[in-house]
Chain A
Amino acid sequence: MTTMPSAEPQAAGAGQENDILLDVKNLKMYFPVTAGLIFQRAVAQIKAVDDISFFVRRGETLGLVGESGCGKTTTGRCILQLYKPTEGSITFEGQELTGLSTRQMRTMRRQMQVIFQDPFSSLNPRMTAGNIIGEPLVVHGLVKSKTEYRERVAELLQNVGLNPYMADRFPHEFSGGQRQRIGVARALSVDPKLIVCDEPVSALDVSIQAQVINLLEDLQERFALTYLFIAHDLSVVRHISDRVAVMYLGRLVEIADRNDIYRNPYHPYTKALLSAVPIPDPVIDAQRERIILSGEVPSPLNPPSGCVFHPRCPIAIDDCTRAIPDLREVEPGHWAGCIRVEGYGSY
């Protein structure tokens, strides 16, 4: 497994062992497809996440992009142990998470929080904003008195750009952008180290999106947060991320520094994905070369053999149908999983 990007110093290049906050190795998450009414037997497996490895450095933002169904949300949920991964290891601050009991995991969750996509369904409509934000404080026993609780909630509301008097309001009284701010405040309440942001701005209008993105960046600076930023909007991901990982059908196809991946993508899927992003300028957009992929993402129930991208790949050759390409370092810190990449051995 030396070809996989991992926390091992020789693979990470400059990385020091204690630079790495989160290290994911050979993560697999298979969901069984069952049949039968009483004795539900597994008849097939959906390989939602299939053997992916990556790490997140302390204080950085790793963007995880891909189309719907590529496994990016599942990856986030595995890291938080909301799903029990089928195989693989997830190390957070040197501690292995996969074997932990529910109780042990609960204490770990103080350090890792999540912001969900839909600000409408991720807040309990019967709780006030104050109680939503304050609940983690009570659960983890972080406040000792009612006064302290109220002060902390007020402080959190202010941190996300809301007014403390809004604590008594219910979610339906807030707009989408404000609700997402409540979600951010709830995640911040326990002083986490890592926040998994699962499409935090895709449900918001463009003008509000920018407000929330700026807020997330400010908070990262103030509280030294690390983000795993899951999104499908490549322009937003470029803006907020330090490094970017691209997923396709449960596999990681490319991972690199933000500037490298946007300036010099290696994997044909990354190239197509970048070229499909529309640019809000008719003159410039008309001049760009656009790679329009034919066909659709295959079902993860029955993924193609070899490289999962080969049926849609414009440069696929026969070999692509046979071997599953490993991620290989094509430039320092830039990993791509494609056998057609230049200087990629003698296929």
Chain B
Amino acid sequence: MATLLEVKDLKTSFYTFEGVVKAVDGITYEVEEGETLGLVGESGCGKSVSALSLMRLIPDPPGKITDGEILFEGEDILKIDMDDMRRIRGAKMSMVFQEPMTSLNPVLTLEKQLSETLQLHKGMTREEARGESVNLLSRVGIPDPERRVRQYPHQFSGGMRQRVMIAMALSCNPKLIIADEPTTALDVTIQAQILELMKSLTTEFGVALIVITHNLGVVARYADRMNIMYAGKIIERGSSREIYSNPRHPYTVGLLKSVPRLDLPRRAKLDPIEGQPPDLVNLPPGCAFRDRCRWAVDKCATDTPPLMQVGDGHTSACWQADQLGPDALDFLRDAQELADEGVAVSDN
């Protein structure tokens, strides 16, 4: 597979009265054509800002992309002017936002909103665009699309609106779709519908997908690879299989341990990550996670760990990555053994 997107040392900062917030602090990754990449982290870790940076949608001021390169199909899109950027946005790269309630225009019919992109990027006439809109709606599983296309967003439920957003994102056959928390605002049963839909459509059209989420569970089944972010940096990166079965950063381990799991026996106590995420203004040198880390050593306070190879295509930004190994998830294995021995799954 060819590389579709290469992000090199991207830095995005916000200039506020309290100081400079380095929301994204030097992240490097690439996306292959047609792959699904999970971008996981907690609120404030810079995952949404990194996505908005890709689209060059950072409000300036106060925000600014201060450094780095974003190579999309080999071209550095940070260097092109805004007119050229507009030709890429929506046509080759599109976005699905978290809030299906606020990301559609309430006073325009869906037909107007769907046709806009088609007329602009594909040069369709109004008639052609109308036909294509109906086509798109039926493709994302909206029943009775001829009638529905003339309706307004408030006439749709949350899940239906998210389907419309997906239809819009797909309308110009983009190469890349960025989905920012696409299912967070939806109910569990609708979440499953939307994720299945996104996966089948991106596979069908060979679209690469970046799914941004705070929930490790959501992307487990769908992502080929994962980036875990903390305090503006990617701290671990690898194939999904590797990340979930052999996490090599204490933060990833912490995330996996802090959630109760339906498939394993109930634990008497959860294992939270103690403390709070750091303030991104005046971040001290060293590893940003060290105050919450039980493996921290002196070196962590002075030297910022870079992403280091820990396995095949698997990197971790931790000086102690060797100490972590698969043992870090022992609790899961113990639980699994209990389950295998026939101890009832829900018992203590």
On A, residues with C-beta under 8 Å from B are 67-68, 175-178, 205-211, 213-214, 217, 232, 234-236, 238-239, 258-259, 262-263, 272-274, 276-286, 288, 290, 292-293, 296-297
Contacts and interface: CB of A to CB of B under 8 A. Distances in A.
A288 B345 CA distance: 15
B203 interface: no
Given A262-B346, A282-B221, A282-B223, 7 more contacts: A175-B276, A205-B43, A205-B214, A206-B255, A274-B262, A280-B259, A296-B160
Given A68-B187, A207-B255, A278 B218 contact: yes
B189 A206 contact: no
B269 interface: yes
25 contacts: A67-B190, A205-B277, A206-B214, A206-B255, A207-B42, A207-B254, A207-B273, A209-B272, A210-B270, A232-B187, A236-B260, A238-B260, A262-B346, A276-B191, A277-B262, A278-B192, A278-B215, A278-B220, A278-B221, A279-B261, A280-B256, A280-B261, A281-B220, A282-B244, A293-B193
Interface in B224-262: 240-241, 244-245, 254-256, 258-262
B344 interface: yes
A262 B43 CA distance: 30
Range class of the B interface residue count? 35 or more
A259 B346 CA distance: 5
A207 B241 CA distance: 21
Contact of A296 (B190, B254, B345): B190
B209 to A, nearest CB: 16
Nearest to A263: B346
B217 interface: yes
B97 to A, nearest CB: 19
Interface string B293-331: 000000000000000000000000000000000000000
Contacts of B214: 205-206
B157 interface: yes
A105 B223 CA distance: 52
Given A210-B259, A262-B345, A262-B346, A292 B193 contact: yes
B42 A206 contact: yes
B346 A279 contact: no
B189 A235 contact: no
Contacts of A68: 187
Contact of A235 (B244, B261, B271, B345): B261
A263 B345 contact: yes
B87 to A, nearest CB: 37
Contacts of A177: 276
Contact of A279 (B193, B217, B245, B272): B217
B274 interface: yes
B270 A285 contact: no
Interface string B177-192: 0000000000111111
A210 B272 contact: yes
B262 A286 contact: no
